[in-house]
């Protein structure tokens, strides 16, 4: 479905439920991974959205949890909407939700906007209320992503512009510098014919195809960088300045 796990492993809900949650302190109240997932899926179903797929992974001996929930709330046959989830027990990653699109032909993910829920410590009661607000806020991010994606498909890119854009993305930290050539090669010789035309959409696919080899944390950093560079958050893109 698109979750990358170059470190850690893919797991199901049962294994996630078995991960122990550290004891809370006066200033830090970790949330069990399974409670984060339950809170999100409960609200998704309350919106009458059908869950098509779920994919979860654990890294750092269960200290970090990542997930993608694919839902059917979309009018396009090219992609489905999905919600990205993250949580940690080692204080490195806040509880987070983000809107995304799962591109059907290549199982690539692209996330837009910003993570709408970010709390490093909260109670389950607080979490439930925050998730309700977050899911409502994601609706705007979904619409923005879909609008930008349609625009990217009709904006053509010359080879020299694509090269410069990839270098700029590396300079911004969205991708590793050693990936500049592979990304350009994917853009020029895409493995899927749907990206044969040299558009900004095809270039974005080259980036996200490359991101499949990243760890979840690195992929998240990549997506955040691409969001700003390509204007997936609805703001003017910075990649072409």
pTM (2 d.p.): 0.81
Q: Label residue 92 exposed, middle or buried (CB < 10 Å: 0-12, 13-18, 19+).
A: exposed
**How does pLDDT run across 113-153, given as a tens digit for each residue?**
666 666 665 565 577 777 888 888 888 888 888 899 999 99
Degrees to nearest 5, angle at CA 139 with 86 and 55: 35
Tell me the average pLDDT of the chain: 86
Note the helical H segments in the chain: 13-17, 33-46, 124-152, 159-171, 180-188, 200-210, 216-230
Each residue's pLDDT tens digit, 220-240: 889 889 999 999 888 999 999
Q: What is the pLDDT of residue 124?
A: 59
pLDDT category of residue 176 using cuts at 50, 70 and 90: very high
Closest CA relative to residue 152, chosen from 219, 212, 79: 79
Give the rounded percent of residues in the chain with a pLDDT score beyond 90.
39
């Amino acid at each position: 479905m698109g979750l990358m796990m170059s470190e850690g492993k893919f797991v199901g809900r049962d294994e996630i439920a078995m991960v122990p949650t550290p004891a809370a302190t006066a200033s830090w109240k970790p949330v069990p991974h399974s409670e984060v997932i339950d809170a999100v899926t409960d609200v998704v179903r309350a919106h009458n959205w059908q869950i098509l797929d779920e994919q979860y992974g654990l890294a750092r001996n269960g200290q970090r949890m990542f997930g993608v929930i694919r839902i059917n709330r979309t009018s396009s046959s090219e992609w489905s909407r999905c919600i990205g989830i993250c949580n940690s027990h080692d204080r490195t990653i806040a509880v987070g939700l983000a809107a995304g699109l799962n591109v059907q032909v290549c199982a690539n993910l692209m996330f837009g906007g910003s993570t709408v829920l970010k709390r490093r410590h909260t109670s389950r009661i607080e979490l439930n209320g925050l998730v309700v607000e977050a899911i409502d806020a994601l609706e705007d991010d979904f619409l923005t992503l879909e609008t930008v994606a349609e625009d990217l498909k009709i904006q053509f890119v010359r080879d020299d512009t694509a090269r410069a854009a990839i270098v700029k993305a590396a300079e911004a930290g969205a991708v590793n510098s050693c990936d500049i050539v592979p990304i350009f090669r994917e853009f020029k010789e895409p493995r899927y014919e749907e990206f044969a035309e040299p558009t900004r959409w095809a270039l974005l696919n080259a980036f996200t195809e490359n991101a499949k080899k990243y760890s979840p944390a690195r992929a998240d950093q990549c997506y955040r960088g691409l969001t700003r560079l390509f204007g997936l958050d609805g703001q003017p893109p910075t990649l072409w300045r």
